[in-house]
Amino acid sequence: MLETTLEQLRDRALERIRAARSVEELEAVRIEALGRKGTLAQASKELAKLPPEERARIGRLLNAVKQCLEETLEARRKEFEEEALRRRLDAEWLDLTLPAPEPRRGHLHPVTQVQAEIEDLFTSLGFAVLDGPEVETEYHNFDALNIPPDHPARDVQDTFWLTDGNLLRTHTSPVQIRGMERFKPPLRMIAPGRVFRNEEVDASHEHTFYQIEGMMVDREVSVAHLIYFMKLMVNAIFRREVAVRLRPGYFPFVEPGFELDMHCLLCNGAGCPACKQSGWVEMIGCGLVHPNVLRMSGIDPEQWMGFAFGLGLTRLVMMRYGIDDIRYLQSGDLRFLNQF
Amino acid sequence: MKFSFNWLRDLTEELNVPPQELGRLITMKTAECDGVEPYGAHLARVCAARVLSVEPLGAGRNVKVVLDTGRYGIKTVVCGAPNCRTGLISAYVPPGTRLGEREIGVTVIDGVPSEGMLASGAELGINRDATGILELEAEPGAPLPGCEPDHIFDVDNKAITHRPDLWGHHGLAREVAAITGARLRDPVRLERIPEGDAPVRVEIENLDLCLRYSALALENVTVRPSPLWLQYRLQAIGLNPINNIVDVTNYVMAELAQPMHAFDWDLLRGPAIFVRPARSGERLLALNETEYHLDGRDLVIADARGPIALAGVIGGLDTAIHEGTRRIVLESACFQASSVRKTSARHKLRTDASMRFEKAQDPVNTVRALARALELLGQVSPGIRVVGGLADARRPLPPAPRILLPVDWLCRKLGRTVEAGEVKRILERLCFAVEEDQPGTLRVTVPSWRATRDVSIKDDLVEEVGRMIGYDAITPQAPAVTIAPPPAGEERLYHRAVRATMVELGFTEVYNYSFVSEEQARRFGMDPEDHVRVANPIGTDRTLLRRSLLPEIFENIVENSKHFERFRIFEIGREIHKQPAGLPREIPHMMAAVYSRAGVEDGLMELKRAAEHLMEGCLLCPGPAQPYEHPARAAAVMWRGTAVGRLFELHPSLLEGRAAVLDLDLERMLELRRDEKRYRPIRRFPASAFDLSVIAGLRELAGNLSRQLAELGAPEVEAIEFLRQYSGPPLPEGKKSVSFRLTVAAPDRTLSSEEVGAVRARIIEGMRARGYEFRL
């Protein structure tokens, strides 16, 4: 009798579990069947009235029904939860092709970028990175570099003079002098910076541009060492082996002085309009530091030797990125700057 | 400076290097040669031809000419030259010849096929005469006398500023001989200078300014066009043929680098030539038909009446050679380089002579040039005679400098071994005299033409040897030096970090000029007189050095707003501040700007965030605005108690849209920056929090409220977080409510709810005492 009731009770509950439409309905079934005052609890009260042998058998049945219902309920609840999670995730569909919110990352000026590369290269080689003023004294810009007044080399550098008698530095070379004044030899330094020449501006000329100066003073510094560093630098800048050649060049603050040419990157040395068919482009002016320059900075040229070089950073940037008009660099035009 | 290959060949023997290769060698061993171009290639095809008959054609000037060309047979051409006549020998250009850009063919002119043409000197590149066809003395079919195809070397002037000798062909020929092993020929025969008293007296007032003045007087002069070969030589290197006398002076200059001048002797007043500073108020009407006003800084050549030439720069028109000149005085002098350079710069007059003198010419050369000129004048002005002997005023010529050159030192400088014998050979090929002083040391005597400025110390000889052995012959070598970390460039690294932060935050870096105009300065409230001023500005908009990055950043904003709705830019650059004495102060600043055409207002907050990224704990102190700032949106930026910059919106009257600007003094920021982080133990006892909404005036600064809460809440209040602010009903007009969350804690225990309540009560009471209310 009780056995039948239990089986009916179980079947009815199972039927309702199957029919449940939500976690709430399922919970209602659970309370009704398995709750403290639920049907199964009621039935268990009947158990006490049964004879002992009956009681054990029906008791086992009761437990089996209870376990069956609990498991079914649990399984069904999991189904509901999974369904709910699935719906939520589906509802969270997001179009990842939409643009990310502003602001976008900005852009470093191309000169900053190339300059940083060269600074890092030389820092790794033990060179200090020095700086000097943009407004210079005539002494540092010319005299101390072995360019006395009325030296024809002053003509080559059209100078912006200031009404106070100072000038805008025409090259980064005065930082050599400031470096030697500040540090005693041995000394290894580079000095990138802004320089000025009083020139009409066109696609290939600017009155404001950038150079990198370099200098090494030590007990033994030779042309062979200079060539070593120049090759190292050119290869690092262009990230490949570039053919270079050294030929005589005249700069009053070095002796001997050189121009370093490298193979034209456009034609690889075959000759093209960019290199005036020569296959070579001028890259670096360099040489061994003139003893007058060392002496003027208080360094004994019989004890110390040095090399110095100057590199057109602006020119290098233009070559690196294929920029055909120098004026963009100082234009502040974002149509240009956003490309870097 | 242009050089003729044929000329160099005349000055050497056994030069067997083709022009292009020679150009490369000159570049690699002497001075940059910008190019080697063929010149007069057509002259291989052009020949003399006799006009057999001339027949008028129609109404124009053209005539039909039948020619005996010798080499090409009888030819018919059409010619329009006024001097075309029967019997004339002229220059015939056959069809198929290229004359510059144009190719000569058979063209029908006035119905007559013209088989080539008769040409003028200008058309052939021999001189600049285009008034008629050439008139020659030659057999039909013969090449034009002395006019052979040539190659022209263009040597960069900048590369020979230190080499006075390379401003003439003989100097370059000397290099070519040293490079190639060819033998050098000296065109000068000094024995041509006659003995005797000079008919013209030369007086030099200051031997520092004029080191030497040599002169010869000549008579029985015929002034006429130079022979073709001479005209062609000058024309090929870009000098203008004028007449035989002037052409000879130019020829000698181009050959020996010695500028010369010829005066018409009959036009000189008095028996003497004076070399003296000009007197104030003196004037010179020069050969270029310009009048120059002179003063004591100018050195002049003068006769009894006054200046007849500006020394080393230009001759005077009044005493110039003209068609009727019969007697001349030839000047060959050496002037002080810097004096010529100054005069030339002051009068903005650079001439072939001044360019050479300012390189410091060799005083030995003056008489050599006269000897060479005499020889040439004899060729171009038959019958010319020297009157008397040489006038030669000078100080004693300096002794030839001697340099001791230790060969091992030379090898150390080059980084390569060179045998003493090879060093000696190289230097001797360059005309240095070399003896062994003691083993391993050479005593080198410098030739006069290298001694004026170029070669004076042993380092100069390193270059001579290095370039001749070739720098390709030196193996690159890493130096053996102490390895040590370089001194830290703190400022540079800091600027790098600032740049990186700004870029991360969306700002793009611009570079601007260091120049501003007076108008730009005034617009941004700066007095032009407080600026460093350029004495020779490139334009009126670039007269001052910037004291602020703002004027140019403002230009960037205006320009970019034409292309972009919204953008962010920044610049790191130097402000240049005038000082009472010495160099100006250069202060690195970072200026950033956010622009929105639509007037979106969050630019200021973006910049505030940037400032906080750069300076943890920086504060903004709103205060009085500059005239170019938005009066209600401007604040000083403070960091660690120091003002480091400003944050503001540009005054809306300055532009369309909204632009917020942040200006920071990087020098000061670098000083304030410190890296002294220390670990503090993490608090072990839990904190509590409560919210407070303060009711305050609408323009009360949230920062002020927060600071007061912190004062009153100390020491238990650990953090104060701004939550929101609100104005509107039910709050009274003119009031707002600002809500904060306060976190309270103690380091050694958990605060009880009574203790927390007491802190809250203390704060509320304190604020009420200061006139604030609360929404509770």
ipTM of the complex: 0.87
Radius of gyration of chain B (CA): 42
What are the C-alpha distances in Å from B290 to residues B283, B285, B344? 10, 6, 14
Q: What pLDDT, on the 0 to 100 scale, is given for residue B734?
A: 92
Q: What pLDDT, on the 0 to 100 scale, is given for residue B389?
A: 95
**A322-328: average pLDDT:** 92
pLDDT in tens, A57-97: 888 888 888 898 889 989 999 999 999 999 999 999 999 99
B676 has pLDDT over 90: no
Q: CB distance A290–B459 less than 8 Å?
A: yes
Selecting from B467, B505, B583 the residue whose C-beta is nearest the C-beta of A103 gives B505
Half-sphere exposure (Cβ direction) of B43: Cα atoms closer than 13 Å: 23
Torsional sign, CA B748, B754, B760, B762: negative
Most confident of A202-206, A260-264, B287-291: B287-291
Please report residues of B whose CB lies closer than 8 A to that of A259: 32
A186 prior amide bond cis, ω within 30? yes
Distance from CA of A50 to the nearest CA of B (A): 59
Please report residues of A whose CB lies closer than 8 A to that of B477: 222, 224-225, 227-228
Q: Are strands B47-56 and B33-39 parallel, antiparallel or unpaired?
A: unpaired
CA distance B667 to A118: 24
Q: Which of B36, B346, B510, B575 to mutate to test the interface with A (most CBs of A within 10 A)?
A: B510
- In this complex, is the C-beta atom of B341 within 8 Å of any C-beta atom belonging to chain A? yes
Q: CB distance B472–A246 less than 8 Å?
A: yes
User: Cβ(B479)–Cβ(B428) under 8 Å?
Assistant: no
User: Cβ(B203)–Cβ(B493) under 8 Å?
Assistant: no
- In this complex, is the C-beta atom of B233 within 8 Å of any C-beta atom belonging to chain A? no
Q: CB distance B509–A108 less than 8 Å?
A: yes
B642 has pLDDT over 90: yes
Chain B residues 676-715 with a CB less than 8 Å from chain A:
none
DSSP, res A280: E
What are the C-alpha distances in Å from B63 to residues B48, B124, B189? 19, 21, 49
| Nearest Cα to Cα of residue B418 among B404, B406, B432 | B406
CA distance A298 to A293: 9
pLDDT in tens, B50-89: 999 999 987 788 999 999 999 999 999 999 999 999 999 9
B405 has pLDDT over 90: yes
CA distance B477 to B360: 37
Chain B residues 721-760 with a CB less than 8 Å from chain A:
none
What residues contact A77, with CB distance under 8 A and at least 6 apart? A23, A26
Selecting from B412, B479, B534 the residue whose C-beta is nearest the C-beta of A162 gives B534
- In this complex, is the C-beta atom of B619 within 8 Å of any C-beta atom belonging to chain A? no
Distance from CA of B546 to the nearest CA of A (A): 12
Average pLDDT, chain B: 95
B715 prior amide bond cis, ω within 30? yes
Q: CB distance B467–A256 less than 8 Å?
A: yes
Q: What pLDDT, on the 0 to 100 scale, is given for residue B330?
A: 97
Based on the number of CB atoms within 10 Å of its own CB, is B279 exposed (0-12), middle (13-18) or buried (19 or more)? middle
Q: CB distance A334–B508 less than 8 Å?
A: yes
Read off φ and ψ for residue B596, nearest 5 degrees: -140, 120
pLDDT in tens, B199-227: 999 999 999 999 999 999 999 999 999 99
Selecting from B467, B474, B506 the residue whose C-beta is nearest the C-beta of A224 gives B474
Read off φ and ψ for residue B283, nearest 5 degrees: -130, 155
pLDDT in tens, B86-115: 999 999 999 999 998 889 999 998 889 999
For chain B, the maximum distance between any two Cα atoms, rounded to a whole number of angstroms, is 133
pLDDT in tens, B368-390: 999 999 999 999 999 999 999 99
Q: Which residue of A has its CA nearest to B27?
A: A247
CA distance B322 to B263: 10
Distance from CA of A269 to the nearest CA of B (A): 14
What residues contact B593, with CB distance under 8 A and at least 6 apart? B553, B556, B557, B568, B569, B570, B603, B659, B660, B661, B662
Amino acid at position B357, single letter: F
Q: What letters, b where the CB count within 10 A reaches 16 and e where it falls short, cover B620-652?
A: beeeebeebbbeebbbbbbbbeeebbbbbbbbe
Selecting from B457, B492, B583 the residue whose C-beta is nearest the C-beta of A291 gives B457
B146's tokens = 């002395």
- In this complex, is the C-beta atom of B580 within 8 Å of any C-beta atom belonging to chain A? no
Instruction: Please provide the DSSP assignment of B354-410 as one string.
Output: HHHHTT---TTHHHHHHHHHHHHHHHHSTT-EEEEEEEEEEPPPPPPPEEEEEHHHH
Please report residues of A whose CB lies closer than 8 A to that of B507: 103, 106
pTM confidence score: 0.86
**B352-376: average pLDDT:** 96
Q: CB distance A162–B545 less than 8 Å?
A: yes
- H/E element holding B312? none
User: Cβ(B607)–Cβ(B663) under 8 Å?
Assistant: no
Q: CB distance A153–B161 less than 8 Å?
A: yes
A263 has pLDDT over 80: yes
Based on the number of CB atoms within 10 Å of its own CB, is B580 exposed (0-12), middle (13-18) or buried (19 or more)? exposed
Q: What pLDDT, on the 0 to 100 scale, is given for residue A65?
A: 86
Q: CB distance B532–A164 less than 8 Å?
A: yes
Q: CB distance A224–B574 less than 8 Å?
A: no
Distance from CA of B514 to the nearest CA of A (A): 8
pLDDT in tens, A277-301: 888 888 899 999 999 999 999 999 9
Q: Which residue of A has its CA nearest to B487?
A: A128
pLDDT in tens, A119-166: 999 999 999 999 999 999 999 999 999 988 877 777 666 899 999 999
Based on the number of CB atoms within 10 Å of its own CB, is A35 exposed (0-12), middle (13-18) or buried (19 or more)? middle
Please report residues of A whose CB lies closer than 8 A to that of B564: 334
- In this complex, is the C-beta atom of B161 within 8 Å of any C-beta atom belonging to chain A? yes
Instruction: Please provide the DSSP assignment of A100-136 as one string.
Output: PPSPPP----HHHHHHHHHHHHHHHTT-EE----SEE
Please report residues of B whose CB lies closer than 8 A to that of A161: 534-536
**H-only helix segments in A125-185:** 138-141, 153-156, 174-182
**H-only helix segments in A20-51:** 23-34, 39-47
What residues contact B436, with CB distance under 8 A and at least 6 apart? B420, B424, B442, B443
Q: How many helices (H) and strands (E) does chain A have?
A: 12, 9
CA distance B555 to A332: 9
Banded model confidence at residue A1, pLDDT cuts 50, 70, 90: low
Residue with tokens 């540009």: B650
Q: What pLDDT, on the 0 to 100 scale, is given for residue A151?
A: 79
Distance from CA of A42 to the nearest CA of B (A): 49
Selecting from B158, B477, B511 the residue whose C-beta is nearest the C-beta of A156 gives B158
Q: What angle in degrees, to the nearest 10, is found between the helix axes of A313-321 and A110-124?
A: 110
Q: Which residue of B has its CA nearest to A113?
A: B496
Q: What pLDDT, on the 0 to 100 scale, is given for residue A156?
A: 64
Distance from CA of A270 to the nearest CA of B (A): 15
CA distance B64 to B59: 13
Selecting from A108, A111, A199 the residue whose C-beta is nearest the C-beta of B503 gives A108
- In this complex, is the C-beta atom of B156 within 8 Å of any C-beta atom belonging to chain A? no
**A308-313: average pLDDT:** 95
Cα B494 vs. chain centroid, distance in angstroms?
A: 33
Q: What pLDDT, on the 0 to 100 scale, is given for residue A157?
A: 67
Q: CB distance A150–B477 less than 8 Å?
A: no
What are the C-alpha distances in Å from A255 to residues A191, B154, B272? 20, 24, 45
User: Cβ(A222)–Cβ(B477) under 8 Å?
Assistant: yes
Q: CB distance B499–A150 less than 8 Å?
A: no
Distance from CA of B174 to the nearest CA of A (A): 17
CA distance B562 to B355: 49
Q: What pLDDT, on the 0 to 100 scale, is given for residue B58?
A: 79
Selecting from B31, B508, B564 the residue whose C-beta is nearest the C-beta of A107 gives B508
User: Cβ(B345)–Cβ(B338) under 8 Å?
Assistant: no
Banded model confidence at residue B138, pLDDT cuts 50, 70, 90: very high
A273 has pLDDT over 90: no
Torsional sign, CA B100, B104, B109, B114: positive
Q: What pLDDT, on the 0 to 100 scale, is given for residue B323?
A: 94
- In this complex, is the C-beta atom of B128 within 8 Å of any C-beta atom belonging to chain A? no
Radius of gyration of chain A (CA): 43
Selecting from A106, A201, A290 the residue whose C-beta is nearest the C-beta of B508 gives A106
CA angle B305, B309, B311 (to 5 degrees): 125
CA distance A259 to A244: 10
Selecting from B479, B489, B542 the residue whose C-beta is nearest the C-beta of A225 gives B479
CA angle B345, B350, B354 (to 5 degrees): 95
Q: Which residues pair with A168 in a beta bridge?
A: A135
Q: CB distance A250–B159 less than 8 Å?
A: yes
